[in-house]
């Protein structure tokens, strides 16, 4: 039977291959044990059997191949500077730059960005000549590559190549044990996503006083994976929920017609309030439950503000849009800033180590903009931010202040938003089922 015959042939071939392999091992292994690099006669190591694929090492002469050079952009680099410092002549570099510029605004080039240059092979090593670029590429963003090729002598053309990635939902949920930061990292939440979560909840949550052991968080977002299954990008949070002492707060993302992202509750009410409850990066707060290094004071008759413990230099944000009303030394407050938000509200920030460069009295600030940095100036026992909310001229407990509601989606957008919201439970269910 033909089938039996071919099976026998394969078996014989296997014996032959195995036999050949063993014979090589027998010779090589003992020498390795004595840590001596064996000098074996050529015929023994050379393959005895032709397995059907060519061995590159035995190829007679290698054709010169283009050389690919990876470059990393450093602080203060321009593409022109990078090319010239890597041996590309100025004329060629200028032509390449002007071609790339048609697809990418090179002012966006930033430190850490990677560039790939393909150089033509240099045939004559003894007469080095100018490096000739045949191709060039950089990532415009995670999904778009600017690809440039040589078309003629020192002439280039650039185009955008769209990368296709696999898009999938990621649902991360966790219980807070020691700190939100640690619990988030432990449960696999990407740092970028944690920062987004903190930004979203900074309007409603006082991250120093309101987060307790046992509180939970839940986040849904999309990730982009390449062909090797490597995550190349995480999209912005689609939906997030925090349960704080039994109180549930949840928001979903809505992108308006002009591409502006914002978060809204189930009723279409924006997360954005006039003021933020935590005007400092909530992940950087140093207090841990039961093991507080600083006296974290809440609002009392004697202490008419709230304190956020963070290491020196942690950025402090403007709690809301407004105008700088006061900036300078202020007795026990140390370095101090006060912002007037509207006819009702002002906020004050004390014990700063320094102010944001260029910030002065009378300047307008946007909500979330950095105004200064945590310090311990004035009457202070350790680095922290002392934060005051002043309502109609009276210092008020920020935790009990009821701020006017943020924007609401209009009827048309609300309808679209409700559709998005209705798919969220389904998406979470699908992810957890795998
Ligand atoms: Zn204080």
Residue 104 counted as domain residue: yes
Residue 307 counted as domain residue: yes
My answer on whether 400 and 288 are in the same domain is yes
pLDDT at 22: 31
Q: How many CA atoms lie within 13 A of 190 on its CB side?
A: 16
pLDDT category at 264 given cuts 50, 70, 90 is: very high
Q: Which residue has the higher pLDDT, 258 or 113?
A: 113
Residue 378 counted as domain residue: yes
Q: How far is the CA of 124 from the centre of ligand 1 (A)?
A: 73
Which domain covers residue 171, as residue numbers?
165-273+407-434
Q: How far is the CA of 142 from the centre of ligand 1 (A)?
A: 43
Q: How far is the CA of 338 from the centre of ligand 1 (A)?
A: 15
Pick from 112, 128, 109: which is nearest to 120 by CA? Answer: 128
pLDDT, tens digit (0-9, with 9 covering 90-100), for 156-185: 999 999 988 999 999 999 999 888 888 999
The partner residues of 116 in beta bridges, in order of sequence, read 70, 137
Residue 199 counted as domain residue: yes
My answer on whether 269 and 291 are in the same domain is no
My answer on whether 268 and 238 are in the same domain is yes
pLDDT category at 65 given cuts 50, 70, 90 is: confident
Kindly report which listed range (55-69, 239-253, 404-418) carries the lowest average pLDDT score: 55-69
pLDDT at 129: 57
My answer on whether 370 and 416 are in the same domain is no
pLDDT, tens digit (0-9, with 9 covering 90-100), for 311-338: 999 999 999 999 999 999 999 999 999 9
- Cβ atoms of 408 and 269 closer than 8 Å: yes
Residue 275 has pLDDT above 90, yes or no: yes
Residue 375 has pLDDT above 70, yes or no: yes
The answer for residues whose C-beta is within 8 angstroms of residue 262's C-beta and 6 or more apart is: 253, 254, 256, 270, 271, 272
**C-alpha span between 146 and 138 (Å, rounded):** 5
* CATH number of residue 248's parent domain: 3.10.450.350
pLDDT at 61: 57
ipTM > 0.90 for the complex: yes
Q: For ligand 1, an ion, list residues with CB under 5 A.
A: 305, 307, 386
My answer on whether 259 and 296 are in the same domain is no
Kindly report which listed range (54-68, 83-97, 268-282, 376-390) carries the lowest average pLDDT score: 54-68
Residue 291 counted as domain residue: yes
Q: How far is the CA of 201 from the centre of ligand 1 (A)?
A: 22
* CATH number of residue 338's parent domain: 2.70.70.10
Q: How many domains does one find in the chain?
A: 3
Kindly report which listed range (37-46, 48-57, 94-103) carries the lowest average pLDDT score: 37-46
Sign of CA dihedral 261, 262, 263, 268: negative
My answer on whether 376 and 428 are in the same domain is no
Residue 16 counted as domain residue: no
Q: How far is the CA of 309 from the centre of ligand 1 (A)?
A: 10
Q: How far is the CA of 248 from the centre of ligand 1 (A)?
A: 28
pLDDT category at 401 given cuts 50, 70, 90 is: confident
- Cβ atoms of 167 and 222 closer than 8 Å: yes
**C-alpha span between 217 and 251 (Å, rounded):** 12
Residue 21 counted as domain residue: no
pLDDT category at 287 given cuts 50, 70, 90 is: low
The answer for residues whose C-beta is within 8 angstroms of residue 128's C-beta and 6 or more apart is: 122
């Amino acid at each position: 039977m033909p089938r039996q015959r071919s099976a026998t042939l394969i078996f014989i071939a296997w014996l032959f291959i195995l036999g050949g392999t063993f014979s090589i091992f027998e010779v090589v292994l003992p020498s390795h044990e004595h840590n001596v690099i064996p000098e074996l006669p050529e015929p023994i190591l050379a393959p005895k059997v032709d397995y059907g694929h060519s061995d590159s090492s035995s190829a007679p002469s290698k054709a010169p191949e283009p050389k690919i050079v990876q470059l990393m952009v450093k602080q203060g680099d321009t593409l022109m500077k990078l090319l010239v410092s890597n041996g590309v002549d100025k004329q060629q570099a200028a032509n390449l730059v002007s071609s790339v510029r048609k697809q990418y605004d090179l002012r966006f080039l930033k430190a850490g960005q990677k560039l790939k240059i393909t150089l033509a092979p240099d045939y004559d090593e003894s007469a080095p000549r100018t490096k000739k670029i045949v191709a060039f590429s950089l990532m415009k963003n995670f999904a778009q590559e600017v690809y440039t090729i040589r078309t003629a002598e020192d002439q280039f053309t650039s185009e955008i190549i769209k990368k296709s990635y696999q898009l999938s939902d990621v649902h991360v949920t966790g219980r807070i044990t020691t700190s939100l930061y640690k619990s988030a990292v432990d449960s696999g939440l990407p740092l970028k996503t944690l920062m987004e979560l903190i930004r979203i909840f900074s309007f409603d949550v006082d991250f120093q006083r309101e987060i307790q052991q046992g509180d939970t968080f839940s986040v849904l977002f999309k990730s982009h994976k390449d062909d090797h299954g490597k995550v190349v990008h995480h999209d912005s949070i689609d939906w997030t929920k925090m349960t704080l002492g039994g109180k549930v707060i949840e928001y979903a993302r809505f992108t308006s017609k002009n591409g502006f992202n914002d978060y809204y509750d189930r009723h279409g009410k924006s997360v954005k309030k006039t003021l933020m409850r935590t005007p400092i990066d909530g992940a950087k707060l140093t207090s841990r439950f039961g093991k507080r290094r600083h006296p974290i004071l809440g609002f009392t008759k004697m202490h008419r503000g709230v304190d956020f413990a963070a290491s020196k230099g942690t950025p402090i944000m403007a709690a809301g849009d407004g105008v700088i009303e006061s900036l300078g030394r202020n007795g026990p407050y140390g370095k101090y800033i006060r912002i007037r938000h509207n006819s009702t509200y002002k906020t004050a920030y004390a014990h700063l180590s320094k102010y944001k460069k260029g910030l002065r009295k009378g300047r307008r600030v946007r909500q979330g903009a950095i105004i200064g940095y945590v310090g311990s100036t004035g009457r202070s026992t350790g680095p922290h931010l002392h934060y005051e909310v002043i309502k109609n001229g009276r210092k008020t407990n920020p935790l009990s202040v009821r701020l006017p509601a943020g924007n609401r989606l209009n009827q048309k957008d609300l309808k679209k938003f409700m559709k998005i919201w209705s798919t969220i439970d389904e998406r979470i269910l699908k992810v957890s089922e795998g």
